[in-house]
Amino acid sequence: MITTRAPGKLFLAGEYAVVEPGEPAVLIAVDRYLSVELTEGSDVGRIRSSEYGNAPLEWTRGDGGVGVVVEHRSSDYVLSALDVVDRLRDELGIAPRYFDLAISSELDDAQGRKFGLGSSAAVTVAVIAALNEFYRLSLSRTERFKLALLATIRVSPKASGGDLAACTFGGWVGYSAPDRSTLRAELVSSGVAGTLRSEAWESYRTTRLAPPSELELLVGWTGSPASTERLVDGVRHGREDWSDSYEQILGASRRTVEALEQALQVDDSPAVLECLRTARRVLQDFGRLSGIVIETPALRALCDAAERSGAAGKPSGAGGGDCGIVLAPAATSRRDLLADWEAHDIRRLELHVHPPEGAAA
């Protein structure tokens, strides 16, 4: 049996802008995990997960024994990961084998409500790690990230991949996305192995960042799940109508992320806090421009409470629900801050940063 796991993630800055190739963001990996157990099968593969109900999802291969085929779940991230790796296996001349997967997750609550910690990214990363071991592909961590992104953009073409980078490399990471539209086209024309060598990766960047030594990470969950894909599509949908304003906000986001990375590099906690406050205002600008509610009343209460206490807070990710993050200096009264969260039905998640793994590249 092969067992792998991937951590959840949180965005610190650069949301929405990061969907544009080359635009930077900062993320962290957190110590809640999604786990995958792989065991060899025979004439059919099975996937067990609480999301699929009591019966396992069964899969087979298509014509020529290449590609994963299953009814009614063609858009599933797990199946896309299986299919991309299966095509790479075939291109490398490795014999096909069947296997079963059992998936378990700490990235949602007892009722199955997701915390917004990137479960789709985590399951994609964990499945590819398991298949890398199963087929003895000897993929580097960067190659596994690239496969995870190729699998993801087949399901969600506009996904930035920042969450995949955090889940793959752990710790604090700076990230910029490649040109995913070109990668999707090259998957069809050049196959998986060819696409891994594509020039469309030129704007991709993952950079290891040092955590701030004098700030504590606090995470609050609003109890209201949000659809990242729907929110991102909403912001992008009308950008041609307000292209000048959109470019201005992209520039503000870029400057904020670059300043945040520099502040982290020299461990300047006051500058980190100011960057986080600015990142919150950039998200507010995206919301005002698009007419989308990014900062819900609960998220606004979480962030305002942080600022009143001398800390800095903002929605993490696309907003519209899910989590808010706070970086708090030692002088912050955690008792008052958490009491304010409790008054607004915000649940603190006991999260810490998952340590960095491998070299970011």
pLDDT one-digit tens code per residue, 79-99: 999 999 999 999 999 999 999
Residues forming CATH 3.30.70.890 domain(s) in the chain:
212-349
Residues 287, 290: Cα–Cα separation, whole Å: 5
State percent of the chain over pLDDT 70.
89
Pick the CATH number of 212-349 from 3.30.1490.20, 3.30.70.890, 3.90.1300.10, 3.90.1150.10: 3.30.70.890
Residues forming CATH 3.30.230.10 domain(s) in the chain:
2-208
| CATH number 3.30.230.10 given to 2-208 | yes
Least confident of 91-105, 121-135, 208-222, 320-334: 320-334
Instruction: Tell me: pLDDT of 278 over 80.
Output: yes
Residues 192, 267: Cα–Cα separation, whole Å: 40
User: Per residue, what are the HEC states of the chain?
Assistant: CEEEEEEEEEEEECCCHHHCCCCEEEEEEEEEEEEEEEEECCCCEEEEEHHHCCCCEEEEECHHHCCEECCCCCCCHHHHHHHHHHHHHHHCCCCCCCEEEEEEECCECCCCCECCCCHHHHHHHHHHHHHHHHCCCCCCHHHHHHHHHHHHHHHCCCCCCHHHHHHHHCCEEEEECCCHHHHHHHHHHHHHHHHHCCHHHCCCEEEEECCCCCEEEEEEECCCCCCHHHHHHHHHHCHHHHHHHHHHHHHHHHHHHHHHHHHHHCCCHHHHHHHHHHHHHHHHHHHHHHCCCCCCHHHHHHHHHHHHCCCEEEECCCCCCCEEEEEEECCCCHHHHHHHHHHCCCEEECCCECCCCCCCC
Burial code of 222-257, b = ≥16 C-beta within 10 A, e = fewer? beebbebeebbebbeeebeeeeeebeebbebbbebb
Select the more confidently predicted residue: 240 or 284: 284
Mean per-residue pLDDT of the chain: 89
What per-residue confidence (pLDDT) applies to 44?
86
What's the gap between Cα 181 and its chain centre?
A: 18
Q: Which two tokens stand for residue 47?
A: 């996937």
* Mean pLDDT to the nearest integer, 30-40: 95
The confidence band for 74, taking pLDDT boundaries of 50, 70 and 90, is: very low
Least confident of 39-48, 69-78, 153-162: 69-78
The confidence band for 72, taking pLDDT boundaries of 50, 70 and 90, is: very low
What per-residue confidence (pLDDT) applies to 93?
96
Instruction: Tell me: pLDDT of 312 over 50.
Output: yes
- What pTM was estimated for this model as a whole? 0.89
* Mean pLDDT to the nearest integer, 52-58: 77
Q: What is the pLDDT of residues 145-162, one digit of tens each?
A: 999 999 999 999 989 999
